Amino acid sequence: MLTVDHVSLTYPDGQDVLTVLKDVTFEVPSGLTAVVGPSGTGKSTLLRVIAGLQIADQGTVCVGEYCIDSSKHDAGTAQSIYVPQDFQLVPFLSAAENLQLAAEMRGRNVNDPEILLKIVGLQGLAKRVPEELSGGQQQRLALARALTVQARVLLPDEPTGSLDSETSQGIAALLREIAHSDQRCVIVATHDSALVDVADSVLSIQSGKVQKIR
Ligand code: ADP
Ligand code: MG
């Protein structure tokens, strides 16, 4: 469903350049995929490139027939949505309003926020602002926000990074369910065995190269 083809990306590093992705090519089917690798190896960069938030120096990212071609410097029809590690929820908006805002920003509307909140296990909490939600609940809301735009590829960045192990297992199960219920592609950057254990496939990133290890 997702194809990453000959993608390279460097960052300026003083007088030098730092190569983070080195002619990376891989495919990801629908389901839950974990991207693992030590801190600083480029997991977040890879997810942002897939989401079209960063344009690679070279290469193409395609979701079905929709492609981001780095040579055109245009993320035009990105079909993927990045879920940042720190959620980036709007602090003064309620859970329902956070969903509505995200939908409106992509020209959509949320008819019934309660339906989305129920999918992520937040039923009855529509009126709470983010600080009235636990870390796990905020992560669930960030995932619901991603579901408002009906993207085919969801890219949660270290979604269990700041959660205890029991809460992490709940999020891992939810991510699997989201991936499987609608044939989506959910690709998580993670260090967490709770997520790696339930992933359908695992990619490792090291020294600019991405390898399928499961
Ligand atoms: P990970 O998510 O695996 O920890 P990142 O994708 O955040 O890795 O970063 C990969 C490497 O690129 C790191 O060495 C980081 O310092 C560097 N890096 C990330 N973003 C930038 C940037 N905007 N400018 C320069 N270097 C960056
Ligand atoms: Mg990261």
Per-residue pLDDT tens digits of the chain, which is 214 residues long: 899 999 999 999 999 999 999 999 999 999 999 999 999 999 999 999 999 999 999 999 999 888 888 887 666 655 899 999 999 999 999 999 999 999 998 888 998 999 999 999 999 999 999 999 999 999 999 999 999 988 899 999 999 998 999 999 999 999 999 999 988 999 999 999 999 999 999 999 999 999 999 9
Indicate whether residue 39 lines ligand 1 (CB < 6 A): yes
35 strand-pairing partners: 189, 203
- Closest residue to atom 10 of ligand 1, CA basis: 42
181 φ/ψ angles, rounded to the nearest 5 degrees: -70, -25
Indicate whether residue 139 lines ligand 1 (CB < 6 A): no
Q: Is 174 left (phi over 0), alpha (psi -120 to 50) or beta?
A: alpha
Question: What's the confidence (pLDDT) of residue 74?
Answer: 65
Distance CA 42, CA 33 (A): 16
Q: What one-character-per-residue DSSP string does 73-110 give?
A: T--TT--EEEE-TT----TTS-HHHHHHHHHHHTT---
Query: Ligand 1 centroid to 51 CA: how many Å?
Result: 16
- 3-state SS assignment for residue 204: strand
Q: What is the pTM of this model?
A: 0.95
Q: Which residue has the tokens 């071609």?
A: 69
Indicate whether residue 21 lines ligand 1 (CB < 6 A): no
Query: Ligand 2 centroid to 76 CA: how many Å?
Result: 24
Query: Ligand 1 centroid to 147 CA: how many Å?
Result: 27
Distance CA 120, CA 147 (A): 10
Question: What's the confidence (pLDDT) of residue 70?
Answer: 85
Cβ contact 134:121 at 8 Å? no
Mutate to test the pocket of ligand 1, among 7, 19, 20, 53 (most ligand atoms within 8 A of CB): 20
Query: Which ligand neighbours the alpha carbon of 41 most closely?
Result: 1
